[in-house]
Amino acid sequence: MHLRKVIAAVLIPFAAAVLVGLAVLWPGGAPPHERTGVGFDRQTQQATVTRVVEVSCKEAGTSGVPPTGDTSTAEGSSAVQQENGTCKRATIRVDSGKDKGRTFTEIVQPDQSRQLHEGQEVVVAYEPSAPRDLQYSVTDVNRRLPMGLLAGIFALAVVVVGRLRGLMALVALAISFLVLNFFILPAILQGSNPLVVAVVGSSAIMLIALYLCHGLSARTSVAVLGTLISLLLIGILGSLFIGWAALTGNTDDNTGLIHGLYPTIDMSGLLLAGVIIGSLGVLDDVTVTQTSAVWELHEANPSMGWRGLYRAGIRIGRDHIASVVNTLVLAYAGAALPLLLLFSIAQSSVGTVANSELVAEEIVRTLVGSIGLVASVPVTTALAALVVSADRTGGEPAKEASAVPARGGKGGRRRKR
């Protein structure tokens, strides 16, 4: 059977299964819960700092301090106790919600990392059960303008350089966020198996993104199949080693809060789901690049057999592996840099650091994802070489690169070496 038909025979049922999975697991929205007022689980509103005046910290200490300390550092109210220090009293106006126009004051201590300025836009937390004068407190700075501007610059750069492909990539990115926000996250919160949800959601993202950006072609189908095989390997290895290493997935305040609000969520399954989703983006890059490399090699030398195409493609893939694996490790290390600094300050040994669950999770995540990336190179390269070689020979891949001499007669002698 023609190799393209074989690939279609695999991918068409797979796509149908993804559609069925989306329909069966579709949540229809995250389940409601009673807010705890902890961390991200707080009511927040937009506000503006309207006035800032300097006051003595001793005076500020007698008038009370913010109930949450969210504008601050870990020292809390200790700075207020500095009798000779100079604090600031900020007046903040609430700009959204039912209390729009209401003002409140907050003390800014001199050693706080975040200082408030007049005219600054901020985010305030609202606690309805607190006394009226302590219901609001500043929790963060409003960063919507710089973040929106940066996103606009990114989108413009992608479209200017990538043109139509870049535009399609942005559309695929938007669809990925929609799948994540309207399917993956709500479905997990409603109690569906995180691993199953991640597999279905990631598969949908993969199919939409790859075919939308690169077109409905045999080249794209090979990349999809290579990505699918690699994701399967990552899922198997991740499940094995997360269970073997007894990783619970509940290692910080955020995961603890999630487990407290939704105790039915399988946190170790959530960890594995994160490994699969996190690996998908880099896998797409590797499989598409390898497939494109083999196709371009075939265009440059149509007489090259599948063995020659595979050898040439795998040489390109080795360079890709070296750079991508290093990128993946450094990305995880950069995200965990504050944690690594804490271990360094404590002068913990490498073995002690690696054995802690917080770091062990990142090690397993990095190594499992890297194994999947490494495996995707030979798998995708071999599939692509077989498909383009089968097209050249009318249905069966060429057994030897030297079976068809190159133009000018010299290529054949070189391939015999």
Higher pLDDT, 28 or 130: 130
pLDDT at residue number 396: 52
> Do residues 292 and 165 touch, judged by C-beta distance below 8 A?
no
Q: Strand, helix or coil at 10?
A: helix
Higher pLDDT, 406 or 271: 271
Give me 270's structure tokens.
């959530």
For residue range 169-188, list pLDDT tens digits in order: 899 999 999 998 889 888 88
Contacts of range 3-11, beta carbons closer than 8 Å, 24 or more positions apart = 3/386, 3/387, 3/390, 3/397, 4/218, 4/221, 4/387, 4/390, 4/391, 7/218, 7/221, 7/222, 7/225, 7/383, 7/387, 8/221, 10/225, 11/221, 11/224, 11/225
Paired tokens of 282: 């880099």
149 pLDDT higher than 90 = yes
CA–CA distances in Å: residue 395 to residues 2, 3, 296, 309: 5, 7, 20, 16
Q: Which of 282-286, 356-360, 392-396, 400-404 has the highest mean pLDDT?
A: 282-286
pLDDT digits (tens, 9 = 90+) for 81-101: 445 578 888 888 998 888 888
pLDDT at 379: 92
Segment 107-130 mean pLDDT: 82
Judge whether residue 365 has pLDDT over 80.
yes
CATH class of the domain whose range is 43-141 = mainly beta
Write down the domain spans for the chain. 3-27+160-415, 43-141
The pLDDT, as a whole number, for residue 346 is: 67
**Residues 380, 229: Cα–Cα separation, whole Å:** 9
